[in-house]
Amino acid sequence: MGNIQPMITLHDISVSRDERQILSITAHIPTTGITAVIGPNGSGKTTLLKLLHGLIEADEGSYSPGSQQLGSALVLHHTPLIKASVRCNLAMVRDSSSNTKITESDIDSALASVGLSHLKNQSALKLSAGERQRLSLARAKLQRPQVILLDEPTANLDPSTTEQVETIIKNLALEGCGVIFTSHHLGQVQSLSDQVVFLADGQCLEVSNTENFFKHPQSDQAKKFIHRELGWK
Ligand SMILES: Nc1ncnc2c1ncn2[C@@H]1O[C@H](COP(=O)(O)OP(=O)(O)OP(=O)(O)O)[C@@H](O)[C@H]1O
């Protein structure tokens, strides 16, 4: 993982679908440490991650570094796995920084880092939801991204598996990989993230240090959102 630029600058980004603007953003999104992208359902969180990764393009506007330079790995809700062993699902990965194939020892250490070594030869399609998520994280990590983009990484996981995934996220950040994740769990956002990006109706209304955001939200939308979700003040 090379030197990460500290932020992505988005300028007048516009994404529309079915003649409706679903993203309209000018903002600086941090790429170091752990950043949580939060906001109500449909506010554009997943669309933003897909845009940063280059899975979708903006209709207007620009962002820098672009997806090619950013070198990100994206883990969506239901990352597809191939009908083969856990090992095979990792062996197909290429290192995005050098485009080289992954070695057996890379696979072993990625599996160990997510606690899946014992399932190396099991069929990936037989994994539980939590194991699938950990495999997806191992696969993303093997790409040696500068930034890892995670869409609701702990949705539908039990508390103990949630904790395991949160530990993996913290370790990724400690190893120098930027993490940008979406979440509806504000308790998790408070304990895990360094920064918050708050979206509402496709717009970025706040980018702030996490503690500041929860203590002193600036926009009425953020105040209402926190109040609704946390029953705050
Ligand atoms: N391919 C598409 N075609 C039409 N509308 C889309 C498409 N993708 C997203 N949208 C719309 O764009 C808006 C933002 O969607 P997005 O999935 O980014 O929101 P989100 O904040 O991640 O939502 P949630 O919290 O419910 O996961 C929604 O209104 C959604 O219906």
Higher-pLDDT residue of 231, 112: 112
Around ligand 1, the residues with Cβ closer than 6 Å are 17-18, 22, 39, 41-47
pLDDT confidence bin for 13, thresholds 50/70/90: very high
Q: Would you state the pLDDT for residue 4?
A: 61
Q: Would you state the pLDDT for residue 3?
A: 59
What is the residue with the minimal CA distance to atom 26 of ligand 1?
41
| pLDDT, the chain, mean | 92
| Per-residue pLDDT tens digits for 33-50 | 999 999 999 999 999 999
- Tokens 């939308």 map to which residue? 221
Cα–Cα distance measured from residue 75 to residue 72, given in angstroms and rounded to the nearest whole number: 10
Domains of the chain in start order, with CATH, are 7-26+45-183+191-198 (3.40.50.300)
Q: Are 87 and 59 in contact (CB under 8 A)?
A: no
Q: Are 8 and 65 in contact (CB under 8 A)?
A: yes
Taking residues 17-32, report their average pLDDT: 96
What is the residue with the minimal CA distance to atom 2 of ligand 1?
17
- Give the ipTM: 0.98
Q: Would you state the pLDDT for residue 98?
A: 63
The SS3 of residue 201 is coil
Within a 13 Å sphere around the CA of 24, how many CA atoms are in the beta-carbon half?
A: 9
What is the residue with the minimal CA distance to atom 1 of ligand 1?
17
| Per-residue pLDDT tens digits for 94-110 | 766 666 778 899 999 99
